[in-house]
């Protein structure tokens, strides 16, 4: 397989350590793992105190810590990078400079509020143009079972975010079992009316299967990749969060609405980044 480049946000927290651990396990022997540790002066440091803190000294301390970590791991795939400034911006800048195939960040907060209040993960998933892994849960890092959530929005044009997500998953982890799922949902209030009107829930299942098959066909996945079509019941957010209990990785596409609008409106990808039981890949 062609060598890939993972750019990983690393710091002293458990989240930063988990992100690097995931990248090492998910990456292949010939991949490159760029470990980025960004530092900046604390906001509460005043100008009088700041003038007494040598920038070179702070950078040397951070560099020494990252070097010690890399030496301890003894993994020649890891390339340490120290950057000064906002962590999220630094990770995105390095990912762009290295033409990264994947950006990896950690996040263990519970609920959307933790993703809105300025975390590094929040910044990266809303501003990076590259696929981003948000490392969550305690699942085995090596992706053996990958679940790709899809829909048919704009699929008539021959391509959509779901097609790109599936294509990405199949190219990155061709040896994994890839379950392609599409969720269908009938609210309880409407379920009785649907049944009384002669509607058949099996028809909804068949419609969902049709959506999945169209996405798989449009993605033109290599025949050697083990891809399974599987309709599921529930809202997309609920269904995929439930799938994440057993999956090693959840992959979803996004249309790319970012910034403040993306935070306010919410999305399946934001719900997964906030509540998933396994790592989540968000593909733009």
Residue 168: CATH number of its domain: 3.40.50.620
Residues 106 and 40 grouped into a single domain: yes
- Tell me the β-bridge partners of 280: 134, 250
Chain centroid to Cα 171, Å, comes to 16
| Burial category of 219 from C-beta neighbours within 10 Å (exposed 0-12, middle 13-18, buried 19 and up) | buried
Residues 98 and 224 grouped into a single domain: no
Strand order in the sheet with 226-233: 78-84, 32-39, 5-9, 102-106, 132-135, 280-283, 249-253, 145-149, 177-184, 226-233
Residues 67 and 154 grouped into a single domain: no
Residues 188 and 209 grouped into a single domain: yes
- C-alpha–C-alpha distance, residues 65 and 163, integer Å: 41
pLDDT digit string, tens, across residues 233-260: 888 999 999 999 999 999 999 875 544 5
pLDDT digit string, tens, across residues 151-198: 988 887 678 999 999 999 999 999 999 999 999 877 654 455 555 555
Residues 52 and 145 grouped into a single domain: no
Among 75, 109, 135, residue at a domain's last position: 135
CB of 31 closer than 8 Å to CB of 4: yes
> Could you give the angle at the alpha carbon of 211 between the alpha carbons of 128 and 178, nearest 5°?
60
Three-state secondary structure call for residue 67: helix
Instruction: For residue 217, name the pLDDT band (cuts at 50, 70, 90).
Output: very high
Which structural domain, as residue segments, surrounds residue 121? 1-135
Residues 64 and 202 grouped into a single domain: no
Q: Which has the closest alpha carbon to 208: 174, 238, 191, 232? A: 232
Residues 89 and 158 grouped into a single domain: no
CB of 242 closer than 8 Å to CB of 221: no
pLDDT digit string, tens, across residues 25-81: 999 999 999 999 988 765 555 555 555 556 566 677 777 778 888 888 999 999 999
Which carries the bigger pLDDT value, residue 138 or residue 36? 36
Q: How many domains does the chain have?
A: 2
Residues 120 and 225 grouped into a single domain: no
């Amino acid at each position: 397989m062609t060598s890939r480049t993972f750019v990983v946000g690393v710091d002293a927290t458990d989240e930063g350590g988990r992100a690097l651990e995931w990248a090492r396990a998910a990456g292949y022997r010939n991949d490159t793992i760029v470990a980025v540790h960004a530092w900046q002066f604390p906001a509460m440091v005043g100008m009088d105190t700041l003038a007494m803190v040598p920038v070179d000294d702070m950078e040397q301390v951070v560099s020494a810590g990252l070097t010690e970590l890399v030496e301890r791991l003894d993994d020649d795939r890891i390339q340490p990078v120290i950057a000064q400034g906002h962590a999220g911006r630094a990770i995105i800048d390095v990912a762009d400079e290295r033409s990264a195939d994947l950006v990896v960040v950690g996040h263990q907060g519970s609920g959307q509020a933790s993703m809105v209040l300025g975390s590094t993960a929040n910044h990266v998933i809303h501003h990076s143009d590259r696929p981003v892994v948000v490392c969550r849960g305690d699942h085995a890092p090596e992706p053996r079972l990958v679940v790709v959530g899809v829909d048919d929005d704009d699929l008539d044009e021959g391509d959509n975010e779901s097609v790109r997500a599936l294509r990405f998953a199949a190219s990155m982890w061709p040896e994994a079992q890839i379950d392609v799922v599409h969720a269908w949902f009938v609210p309880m209030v409407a379920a009785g009316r649907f049944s009384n009107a002669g509607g058949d829930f099996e028809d909804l299942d068949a419609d969902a299967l049709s959506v999945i098959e169209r996405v798989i066909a449009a993605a033109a996945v290599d025949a050697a990749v083990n891809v399974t079509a599987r309709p599921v019941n529930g809202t997309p957010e609920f269904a995929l969060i439930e799938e994440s209990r057993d999956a090693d990785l959840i992959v979803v596409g996004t249309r790319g609405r970012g910034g403040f609008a993306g935070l306010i409106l919410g999305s399946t990808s934001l719900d997964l980044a906030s509540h998933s039981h396994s790592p989540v890949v968000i593909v733009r």
